[in-house]
């Protein structure tokens, strides 16, 4: 995913502006320190180490710089530059791993994508991932680059961390990603980055290995004695690799899979590829591409085909189900995807990523995509792109069915090939986690779909993402997905899809704090439903318009819409939506102090939602009833409703769980169980914070109740 715009970043000093955050404190509504249950989030993101050959001088320079900067109490920043595949990341990892005992706060890593076909990563996107890795809930990550940078620096001011920024494009891209305090940052780039000298950077430029070091690296990769037995051929091979470690390792891995093959065979193969080498040249990295071409030609047929087709994948990482989708020839048939993936890893053409995922090195990915264009006809490439899109659409739809079976009402259109669905379950929380993990790929497919010729996938994928957006509040992606989906629906002339994008997108605008814009979208949908003579669709917009009016401070008008929705929806065949309207009436009544009325409306809503099988919203209704009983002083029925509601809501919605837990805390307080009340209030406030709602009236009310309890001595 890419950020939509650039922002200036003039602070080059690395100095923290604003208050320094202390561990365990609350800053900007975010609780820093141990999460509920006492577990603190510490990221360890650095990739695995490989052996470093002949870099003693560079390592010594890096360590001298670190010691000098630490003695001067300033940040440690080093920039490693050189050709692609020269070993910049390998050297940076070796250095940073030696520092782990000194920096227990964690290790952050980002590929900044200077060589990516999609273009460099925007710093705001990288900061979003860093903040989430450091424990900031997704809902509380600021939207603007400057705000993300300030929060990142506040967090790193209290932690001892190292940061690896791989494949940087410019100094300007790097600066917002520099941590505060005396932390260590290593930057790798094909380019020298003189602009970073302003930040006290130590520049280290890496040249290719010497002939002797490259031969040693080949022997390390091919440890079966052939290098010692065939020294001249080994020297000739590493000369053709130009001493680039990536090329040497790939060549050695290729030979390692053929124990009986002489090194001279690889030497001849590299020589035969020189003409193709020129066609694949990128930034002068002829030798790396020639080596990749040789490795590709040596692949078994199925693995070579998978390699080409994976080059068409729009995201940076993928799991095995994507490969299965590309290889499938029929139902429950992955076409040998697992074996082909193993072959690609064995040939060093794929790298392992966290969570049993796979990742191309950027140059390898470009090479794979070029081979797809060269070796596959256009219809095959188009079919592969469609199978990737169908895989993500079907998998997201399966997650949607697990989470919101009532929402899954609109058809999905798939291409002609077999559709492979990922394992997204087994339950709601796992389905939500899958959607969140794959969100970058899902958004990439969504945006790619119209230009690729399957416009329906765009709005249908936005529709399938509804449960994730509703529960975990990725508001920027929510807005972007539905704007693209709305444009796709209008291009298709699909009124039903347009109305779904308007209503679902409007709910996102409502949550993002734009009730006026949301109301406009809901009213546009209402007009389309009337024009299409769709009374049920129009009745559903009554609920949405009521919510927008409530947020706009017009409760009486909102109540009118809720009452109309509660009456009209069952008549037109949607009793569940009528139950949601009754729940909205209950919430409005409770907000205005009419507790008995809230009990009545929430009870009716709960019965309807239970009958419809909507356990999530039935639990919300039970919470509303319990809170109303609490207002009326009825502690027993309040607790009987709130306890099972909390159990149902945990893991699905931090905000709704916080509402139930806060009410249970008050029940405990009124019964004189002060320690339990304190614990519940604190946990509820943590949940509000994780949901991005720490400044709501409900959360402020909990703080007011907790404050006098915290002044008391702890119970013995």
pLDDT in tens, 93-118: 999 999 999 999 999 999 998 867 67
- State how far the Cα of 358 lies from the Cα of 352, in Å rounded to an integer: 5
Pairing of strands 202-205, 317-318: unpaired
Residue 391 has pLDDT above 80, yes or no: yes
What band does 10 get if pLDDT is binned at 50, 70 and 90? very low
Q: Is the pTM of this model over 0.75?
A: no
> Sorting pLDDT into bands at 50, 70 and 90, what band is 285?
very low
pLDDT digits (tens, 9 = 90+) for 644-664: 999 999 878 888 999 999 999
Q: What is the pLDDT of residue 247?
A: 77
Instruction: Please report which confidence band the pLDDT of residue 453 belongs to, taking 50, 70 and 90 as the band edges.
Output: very high
Say if CB 496 and CB 511 are below 8 A apart. no
Is pLDDT above 60 for 45?
A: yes
Q: How confident is the model at residue 133 (pLDDT cuts 50, 70, 90)?
A: very high
Residue 531 pLDDT class (50, 70, 90 cuts): very high
The Cα 61–Cα 70 span in angstroms is 14
Residue 279 pLDDT > 60: no
Contact 74, 200 (CB under 8 A): yes
Of the chain, the percentage scoring pLDDT greater than 90 comes to 62
pLDDT score at 21: 43
Most confident of 32-41, 322-331, 517-526: 517-526
Q: What are the distances in angstroms from CA 373 to CA 337, 370, 434, 699?
A: 21, 5, 31, 56
CA distances in angstroms from 481 to 314, 344, 488, listed in the order given: 16, 33, 11
For residue 426, what is the DSSP state? S
The pLDDT of residue 1 is above 50: no
| Cβ neighbours around 423 below 10 Å, total | 12
Contact 210, 245 (CB under 8 A): no
In the prediction, which pLDDT does 290 show? Answer: 60
CA distance 453 to 459: 13
Helices (H) and strands (E) in the chain, counts: 33, 10
In this structure, of 323-332, 508-517, 637-646, 697-706, the range with the lowest mean pLDDT score is 323-332
Confidence of residue 272 (pLDDT cuts 50, 70, 90): low
| Distant-in-sequence, close-in-space partners of 513: CB < 8 Å, separation ≥ 6 | none
pLDDT confidence of residue 19:
38
Mean pLDDT, residues 234-246 taken together:
82
Q: Flag whether pLDDT at 27 surpasses 90.
A: no
* For residue 29, pLDDT beyond 80: no
Min mean pLDDT across 275-284, 285-294, 455-464 is at 275-284
What integer best gives the mean pLDDT of the chain? 86
Tell me what pLDDT residue 16 has: 34
pLDDT at 288 (0 to 100): 64
The residue ranking higher by pLDDT, 369 or 606, is 606
Decide: residue 345, CB within 10 A, 0-12 exposed, 13-18 middle, 19+ buried: middle
Q: For residue 294, is pLDDT > 70?
A: no
pLDDT score of 31 more than 60: no
Q: In the predicted model, is pLDDT for residue 276 greater than 60?
A: no
565 pLDDT above the threshold of 80: yes
Instruction: Tell me which of 452 and 711 has the higher pLDDT.
Output: 452
Is the predicted pLDDT of residue 66 greater than 60, yes or no? yes
Checking if the pLDDT of 355 tops 60, the result is: yes
165 against 238, higher pLDDT: 165
Kindly report, residue by residue over 313-348, the tens digit of the pLDDT.
Answer: 999 899 999 999 999 865 555 668 999 998 888 776
pLDDT score for 58: 94
Residue 551 pLDDT > 90, yes or no? yes
Q: Answer whether residue 496 shows pLDDT above 90.
A: yes
CB 324 within 8 A of CB 420: yes
pLDDT tens by residue, 597-641? 999 999 999 999 999 988 889 999 999 999 999 999 999 999 999
Q: What pLDDT is attached to residue 40? A: 54
């Amino acid at each position: 995913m890419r950020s939509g715009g650039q922002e200036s970043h003039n602070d080059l000093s690395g100095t923290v502006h604003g208050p320094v955050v202390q561990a365990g404190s609350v800053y900007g509504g975010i609780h820093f320190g141990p999460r509920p249950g006492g577990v603190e989030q510490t990221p360890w993101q650095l990739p695995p180490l490989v052996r470093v050959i002949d870099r003693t001088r560079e390592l010594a320079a890096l360590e001298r710089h670190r010691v000098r900067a630490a003695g001067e109490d300033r940040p440690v920043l080093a920039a490693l530059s050189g050709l692609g595949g020269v070993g910049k990341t390998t050297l940076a990892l070796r250095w940073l791993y030696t520092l782990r005992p000194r920096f227990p706060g964690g290790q952050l890593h980002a590929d900044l994508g200077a060589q990516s076909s999609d273009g460099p990563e925007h710093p705001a996107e990288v900061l979003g991932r860093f903040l989430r890795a450091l424990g900031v809930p997704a809902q509380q990550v600021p939207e603007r680059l400057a705000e993300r940078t300030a929060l990142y620096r506040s967090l790193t001011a209290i932690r001892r961390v190292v940061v690896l920024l791989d494949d940087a494009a410019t100094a300007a891209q790097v600066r917002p990603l520099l941590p505060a305090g005396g932390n260590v940052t290593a930057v790798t780039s094909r380019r020298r980055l003189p602009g970073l000298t302003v930040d006290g950077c130590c520049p280290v430029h890496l040249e290719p290995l010497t002939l002797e070091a490259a031969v040693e690296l080949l022997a390390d990769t091919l440890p079966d004695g052939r290098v010692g037995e065939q020294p001249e051929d080994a020297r000739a091979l590493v000369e053709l690799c130009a001493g680039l470690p990536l090329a040497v390792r790939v060549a050695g891995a290729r030979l390692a899979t053929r124990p009986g093959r002489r090194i001279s065979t690889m030497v001849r193969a590299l020589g035969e590829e020189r003409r193709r080498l020129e066609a694949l040249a990128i930034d002068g990295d002829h030798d790396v591409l020639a080596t990749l071409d040789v490795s590709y030609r040596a692949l078994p047929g199925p693995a070579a085909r998978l390699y080409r087709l994976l080059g068409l994948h729009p995201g940076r990482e993928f799991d095995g189900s994507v490969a299965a989708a590309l290889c499938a020839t029929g139902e429950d048939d992955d076409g040998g995807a697992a074996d082909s993936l193993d072959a690609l890893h064995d040939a060093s053409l794929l790298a392992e990523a966290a969570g049993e995922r796979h990742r191309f090195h950027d140059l390898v990915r470009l090479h794979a995509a070029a081979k797809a264009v060269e070796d596959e006809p256009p219809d095959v490439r188009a079919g592969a792109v469609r199978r990737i899109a169908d895989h993500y659409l079907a998998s997201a739809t399966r997650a949607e069915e697990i989470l919101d079976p009532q929402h899954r009402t609109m058809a999905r259109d798939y291409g002609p090939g077999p559709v492979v669905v990922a394992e997204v379950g087994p339950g709601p929380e796992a389905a939500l986690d899958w959607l969140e993990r794959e969100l970058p790929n899902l958004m990439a497919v969504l945006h790619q779909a119209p230009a690729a010729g399957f416009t329906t996938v765009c709005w249908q994928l936005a529709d399938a993402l509804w449960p994730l957006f509703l529960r975990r509040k990725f508001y920027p992606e929510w807005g972007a997905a539905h704007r693209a989906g709305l444009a796709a629906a209008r291009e298709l002339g699909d009124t039903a899809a347009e109305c779904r994008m308007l209503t679902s997108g409007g709910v996102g605008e409502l949550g993002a704090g734009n009730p006026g814009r949301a109301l406009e979208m809901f009213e546009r949908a209402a007009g389309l439903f009337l024009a299409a003579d769709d009374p049920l669709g129009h009745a559903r917009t009554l609920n949405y318009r009521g919510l927008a009016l409530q947020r706009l401070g017009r409760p009486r008008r909102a109540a009118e819409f809720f009452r109309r929705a509660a009456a009209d929806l069952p008549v037109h065949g949607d009793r569940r939506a009528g139950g949601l309207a009754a729940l909205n009436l209950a919430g409005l009544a409770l907000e205005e102090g009419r507790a008995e009325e809230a009990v009545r409306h929430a009870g009716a809503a709960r019965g309807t939602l239970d009958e419809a099988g909507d356990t999530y919203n039935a639990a919300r209704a039970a919470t509303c009833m319990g809170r109303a009983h609490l207002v009326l002083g009825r502690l027993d029925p309040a607790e009987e409703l709130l306890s099972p509601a909390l159990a149902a809501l945990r893991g699905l919605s931090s905000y709704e769980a916080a509402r139930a837990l806060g009410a249970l805390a008050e029940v405990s307080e009124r019964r004189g169980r002060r320690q339990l009340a304190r614990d519940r209030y604190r946990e509820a406030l943590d949940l509000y914070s994780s949901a991005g709602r720490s400044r709501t009236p409900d959360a402020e009310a909990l703080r007011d109740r907790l404050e006098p309890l915290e002044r008391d001595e702890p119970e013995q």
